[in-house]
Chain A
């Protein structure tokens, strides 16, 4: 079945540094990918929609300069948390849908990245 690979699964970084998270669709093309953030025991909050070859669409309240999204190819989107602070510590999940079967394809999720900023 369709697989979305997300890397790394866990990362610890120091305050002020930047962290890049990769999301790859392994056996399908995705013109659109979605980045979610999840706090403990809470739901998934959509941060932004990543669009291949164009700018990402951010949800209200999400800082564009803090969370940089690049979708350079049909199978790869990256989320960079810039100048990370402890309050950015969270679980980040990416998802994608097969662009060639948008109607029938469900949303496939990566395994998530647990970010800890010290």
Chain B
């Protein structure tokens, strides 16, 4: 079974600074997706960034980028120029891609606070 681990329950960062959130996962699959989702106090789940396992190039999305290390099964999220609106829970997630019933498994989450 797949598992997703986030070792940092809480983190804080000064506004405009850079922060990195860690994520590791365990799987025997070769083809899969990895995601970072953001959940602000409104509790709406928002997709931040997605990485396909077969792509070696790290995904980037504006101020958000990942460091994907497939051999190490590591998938960290870097947030540059942190903004107050980045304050939220961040969930790392895994999805294997084999059937139409592919389900997404979430890590325990990291609560990020951006300090003015």
Contact = CB atoms under 8 A, between A and B. Distances in A.
Interface of A: 31-32, 34, 38, 41-44, 46, 49, 51, 57, 91, 93, 95, 97, 99, 102-103, 106-107, 109, 111-112
B101 A32 contact: yes
Interface residues of B, number: 21
Instruction: Select the residue from A43, A95, A106 with max chain B CB neighbours within 10 A.
Output: A43
A107 B42 CA distance: 18
Given A51-B101, A106-B50, A43 B44 contact: no
B53 interface: no
Interface in B26-66: 35, 42-45, 47, 50
Given A31-B100, A32-B100, A57-B101, A106 B45 contact: no
B-side interface mostly: loop
Interface of B: 35, 42-45, 47, 50, 91, 95, 97, 100-109, 111
Given A34-B104, A107-B35, A112-B44, 12 more contacts: A31-B100, A32-B100, A42-B108, A43-B106, A43-B107, A44-B45, A46-B105, A49-B103, A91-B43, A102-B100, A106-B47, A106-B50
